[in-house]
Chains A and B, each alone.
Chain A
Amino acid sequence: MSLLEVKNLKKSFDDNVVLKDISLSVEKGEVLAIIGPSGSGKSTLLRCITDLETEDSGEINFDGTFGLVFQNFNLFPHHSVMKNITNAPIRVQKRDKKEVFEHARDLLKKMGLQDKENAYPCELSGGQQQRVSIARALAMNPDILFFDEPTSALDPELTGEILTVIRDLAAEHMTMVIVTHEMAFARNVADKIIFMDDGVIVEEGSPDEVFSSDNKRMKEFLGKFYD
């Protein structure tokens, strides 16, 4: 059975139909990249799956914990890096304080931020903030990690450091669903790619299949990146 299964998902905002009958599945250990033009419904799909929006109809089957990494990080500015990461595991998951702190330090080390545990988000660069927010999501021991355009708020120089982190997680077989505009990255890191346009899934398959697709819309979209 799939770890995450979405069936016939539909969502409108007033008269604007954003998701028209979306179905997909994600297996354990799989990395799924969702690509497509702005306004195609990628982020709304992610927000429905993570309960930030309520779907109009359809089914979302997922039984476990998830983490979500936002485009704008959404770190808590009044909490230190350490508190951002440890507060929810301790308060919400009621885990042992010592264990959570050790876990958090491991994660910070992995993110190359071991010297930043007492810093506040405003003292960090965008790339560092995003790495903290990835550590915060991972500290909850999620079964699946969602990324909503994790590099869109970063300049190209900082984008690389986030993509490296995600690539490392993929190598550890972390299950991930990534909404992204980074085509080369999606092709490189994903096991499966979904191309969305105007609220529907236009193409779906392995990176090679999707990137060599004959679909007109898909070719137009990719043309913008490879011209």
Chain B
Amino acid sequence: MILSNVISQLLGGMVTSIEIFLLTLLFSLPLGLAIAGGRMSSFGPLRWLMKIYISIMRGTPLMLQLIVVFFAPYYVFGISLSADYRFIAVIIAFTMNYAAYFAEIYRGGIESINSGQYEAAQVLGYSRLETFFIIIMPQVFKVILPSVTNEVITLVKDTSLSFVIAIPEMFTVAKQIAAADASIAALLVAGIFYYIFNIIVAFVMERLENRLDYYE
């Protein structure tokens, strides 16, 4: 098969991969902050629940989580879901998994902020919410950015795991073409795609880091 042909076939898969990537970030970044909040809560049961959640999400394969989220509604609850659920299941599984990792990154960042910052804010009359969003979080973002970059780069590559529930993303399509053509050309093209995608991600994150470089 001619290369341009391979690429045009892969194009749809690329779009799906990018969609999974963007939607996962959109949902898991805020959800991770909420989980981190629960993980650091003074309310014991909530703290433990979040601890267990994070432990399971980090301790089991993402591929398995994808399968469970996709099949559980039918096998556990007997609910038949429409064909659209396949894509929704991918987003749910990725979001749940990445939120757990982001939660731990947020927690590390928040705990690294000196208690004097909270005290200075309190004395100046900032509310707890203002203190968190005006004083603490901007400093946390700077601290956690390198770790977040790591996760985001991993996410680009992890989107390929969706093949396990037959989502027609990049890797799934490449595998099908490779099997049909008995050639690895499509897989090589897929590899180049992930690599370029990640170069762009790394570039954007570096720009972001430079922008936060105005202090310390």
Q: What residues make up the interface of A, taking CB atoms closer than 8 Å to B? A: 50-52, 66-68, 70, 72, 74-78, 87-88, 91-93, 120-122, 136-137, 140
Contacts and interface: CB of A to CB of B under 8 A. Distances in A.
Given A120-B215, A121-B215, A76 B122 contact: no
Nearest to B215: A120
B7 to A, nearest CB: 45
Contact of A122 (B116, B122, B216): B216
A136 B124 CA distance: 9
A84 to B, nearest CB: 9
A91 B126 contact: yes
Interface string B121-140: 11111100010001100110
Q: Which 5 A-B pairs have the closest CB atoms?
A: A74-B120, A88-B124, A74-B116, A92-B125, A120-B215
Given A72-B116, A74-B116, A87-B134, A93 B125 contact: yes
Interface of B: 114, 116-117, 119-126, 130, 134-135, 138-139, 142, 214-216
Given A87-B134, A91-B130, A77 B123 contact: no
B138 A140 contact: no
B167 to A, nearest CB: 41
Contact of A76 (B120, B123, B130): B120
Nearest to A50: B123
B122 to A, nearest CB: 7
Main DSSP-derived SS at the A contact region:
loop
Contacts of B216: 77, 122
Nearest to B135: A76
A140 B215 CA distance: 25
A78 B119 contact: no
A52 B122 contact: yes
B124 A140 contact: yes
Contacts of A140: 124-125
Nearest to B216: A122
Contacts of B142: 78
B117 to A, nearest CB: 6
A68 B130 CA distance: 19
30 contacts: A50-B123, A51-B122, A51-B123, A52-B119, A68-B123, A70-B119, A72-B114, A72-B116, A74-B116, A74-B117, A74-B119, A74-B120, A75-B120, A76-B121, A76-B139, A77-B215, A77-B216, A78-B142, A78-B215, A88-B125, A91-B130, A92-B124, A92-B130, A93-B125, A120-B215, A121-B215, A122-B216, A136-B124, A137-B123, A140-B124
B144 to A, nearest CB: 14
A121 B139 CA distance: 14
